[in-house]
């Protein structure tokens, strides 16, 4: 049953449903608004199928226009994009086609129409600081962008397209979305867990810092923003900052995996491809003020699952952890309805 206090323009189109953000958002909105939500995925991703999922490449303007004619969408949650850092570095043309040309196709259809657009960008539009000082609250919306990756550069280009073509839209810069993905490899949890599950080591960075967010929280945020006339650019990172190494510590310990499989190193030892950002924590206070409430719970929700030292994941304290517990408290927000 939909919340009577929320007036979401329907039908809704969700793009990029192969990724963590789009996959979780599609499931959330289809459950809440049955028969009124359609997701699109790339045509070659044939295993991703089911009710309400259409095959349409983001850059295929003609195919996208046919879907708009068929469904008469009144709102779009744009989660499309190639976020594979190494692939984007090695094939910048592919990154541009997916992350920018796909948006050009979408904007050319809806810019002059009465269609509500919410677009997801990323914290990697920033290079990141070299420190993790608690005195610094994180990047703010007015800070100058300076991405170090091709992926980040294409996301900056996408942001500027929306600012020029459709300023009434809302752009949300997110950090790491924490939830399941369709193929089990698209998300941070998926990749790290797959290494541990298969007995393979995982090396993460001490000094790449993010502000991860439960996908559950993002779903409710998207619903709020889609239903309101909120325009412009907002940061949408969680309230707890963690390094990639600390995130892997959480996954290792909660999942009950071999602690010796986790390795750590400074990002400068990662090699030249892909280049790594530093501390890209986001200050999301402007979004909270706009909404009138804090939209995010910290990830992980339980303070006892937050690492306190580099070997914290070795200390099981009578709780061995399990994949089931990981799914319960890391892929899903225990506080969610």
1 pLDDT above the threshold of 70: no
CB 26, CB 77: distance < 8 Å: no
Per-residue pLDDT tens for 187-200? 899 999 999 999 99
Per-residue pLDDT tens for 59-70? 899 999 999 999
Per-residue pLDDT tens for 194-226? 999 999 999 999 999 999 999 999 999 999 999
How many CB atoms neighbour CB 269 within 10 A?
Answer: 11
What's the confidence (pLDDT) of residue 5?
A: 63
Per-residue pLDDT tens for 323-333? 999 999 999 99
What's the confidence (pLDDT) of residue 2?
A: 42
4 pLDDT above the threshold of 60: no
What's the confidence (pLDDT) of residue 115?
A: 97
Phi, psi at 305, each rounded to 5°: -95, 15
Give mean pLDDT, residues 157-184.
Answer: 94
Cα separation of 317 and 233, whole Å? 43
Cα-atom radius of gyration of the chain, to the nearest Å? 19
What's the confidence (pLDDT) of residue 134?
A: 81
Angle, CA of 234, 240 and 243, to the nearest 5°: 105
Cα separation of 143 and 56, whole Å? 35
Report CA-CA distances (Å) from 65 to 5, 97, 98: 31, 18, 17
Helix 244-255 × helix 188-197 angle, to 10°: 50
pLDDT bracket for residue 317 (50, 70, 90) = confident
Per-residue pLDDT tens for 11-21? 999 999 999 99
Per-residue pLDDT tens for 237-250? 999 999 999 999 99
Mean pLDDT over all residues of the chain?
93
Per-residue pLDDT tens for 287-298? 999 999 999 999
Catalogue all structural domains in the chain, each as residue range(s) with its CATH number.
12-246+272-329 (3.40.50.720)
The pTM score is 0.94
pLDDT bracket for residue 337 (50, 70, 90) = low
């Amino acid at each position: 049953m939909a919340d009577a206090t929320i007036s979401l323009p329907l039908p809704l189109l969700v793009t990029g449903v192969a990724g963590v953000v789009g996959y979780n958002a599609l499931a959330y909105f289809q459950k809440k608004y049955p028969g009124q939500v359609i997701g699109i995925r790339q045509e070659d991703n044939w295993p991703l199928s089911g009710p309400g999922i259409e095959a349409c490449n983001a850059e295929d303007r003609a195919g996208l226009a046919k879907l708009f004619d068929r469904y008469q969408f009144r709102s779009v949650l744009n989660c499309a994009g190639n976020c594979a850092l190494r692939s984007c570095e090695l094939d910048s043309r592919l990154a541009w086609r997916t992350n920018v040309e796909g948006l050009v196709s979408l904007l050319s259809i809806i810019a002059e129409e009465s269609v509500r657009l919410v677009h997801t960008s990323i914290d990697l539009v920033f290079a990141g600081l070299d420190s993790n000082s608690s005195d610094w609250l994180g990047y703010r919306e007015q800070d100058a962008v300076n991405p170090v990756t091709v992926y980040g550069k294409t996301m900056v280009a996408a942001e500027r397209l929306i600012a020029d073509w459709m300023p009434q839209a809302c752009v949300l810069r997110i950090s790491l979305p924490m939830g399941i993905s369709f193929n089990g490899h698209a998300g941070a949890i998926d990749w790290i867990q797959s290494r541990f599950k298969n007995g393979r080591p995982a090396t993460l960075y001490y000094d790449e810092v993010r502000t991860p967010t439960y996908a559950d929280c993002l779903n409710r945020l998207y619903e709020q923003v889609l239903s309101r006339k909120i325009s412009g650019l907002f940061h949408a990172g969680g309230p707890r900052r963690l390094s990639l190494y600390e995130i892997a510590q959480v996954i290792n310990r909660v999942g009950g995996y071999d602690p010796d499989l986790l390795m750590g190193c400074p990002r400068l030892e990662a090699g030249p491809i892909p280049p790594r950002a530093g501390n890209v924590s986001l200050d999301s206070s402007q979004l909270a003020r706009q909404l009138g409430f804090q939209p995010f719970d910290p990830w992980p929700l339980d303070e006892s699952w937050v690492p306190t030292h580099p070997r914290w994941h070795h200390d099981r304290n009578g709780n061995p952890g399990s994949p089931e517990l990981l799914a319960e408290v890391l892929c899903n927000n225990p506080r969610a309805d």
